[in-house]
Amino acid sequence: MLDICNTVVTGTIFIIIILKAQSYNFISESKSFYINIYKKNLKDTMTSKTFIVTGASRGIGRSVSLSLVTNFENNVLAIARSKDDLINLKQHVEVDLNLKDKLEIVVGDVTEEKVIDEAINKCLNKWKGIDGVVANAG
């Protein structure tokens, strides 16, 4: 049922929605049991990966970036046009959450090839690969 959240595309996990299962209060213990099993399996699958998140400076993109870094211990390359918001996100991750080297930023419009090239090169140089992309811009 919840497997629709991940679609495997040539060995890459592509996240479609944000899972906030831990924030829900379930009336039935059986529902809670199943969601805990799912969260464990998802965490096993999604831990220590590298993701590019577009539109990462605010809203859903920021939430996805923070969730990937904090809940799944992933590396995130955050892309957005808003430099100040991206710097704020990076400072929040490094200073407030004390997670150094888990988030990098690229400022720019994802419709520009040079921005995508910069993002890919940063991921490859820093983390040696890319496991998924969250296409949230626009």
pLDDT at 116: 93
Could you state, in order of their start, the residue ranges of all structural domains in the chain?
48-138
- Give the per-residue SS3 of the chain: CHHHHEEEECCEEEECCCCCHHHCCCCCHHHHHHHHHHHHHHHHHHCCCEEEEECCCCHHHHHHHHHHHHCCCCEEEEEECCHHHHHHHHHHHHHHCCCCCCEEEEECCCCCHHHHHHHHHHHHHHHCCCCEEECCCC
The mean pLDDT of 40-55, rounded to a whole number, is: 82
Give the model's confidence band at 42: pLDDT under 50 very low, under 70 low, under 90 confident, else very high.
Answer: low
Rounded to 5 degrees, what are φ and ψ at 106? -135, 125
Mean of pLDDT values over 10-25: 37
Res. 138: pLDDT tops 50: yes
For the stretch 55-66, what's the b/e string if a residue is b when 16 or more beta carbons lie within 10 angstroms of its beta carbon?
Answer: bbbeeebbebbb
Q: Pick from 98, 45, 87: which is nearest to 62 by CA?
A: 87
CATH class name, domain 48-138: alpha beta
Banded model confidence at residue 90, pLDDT cuts 50, 70, 90: very high
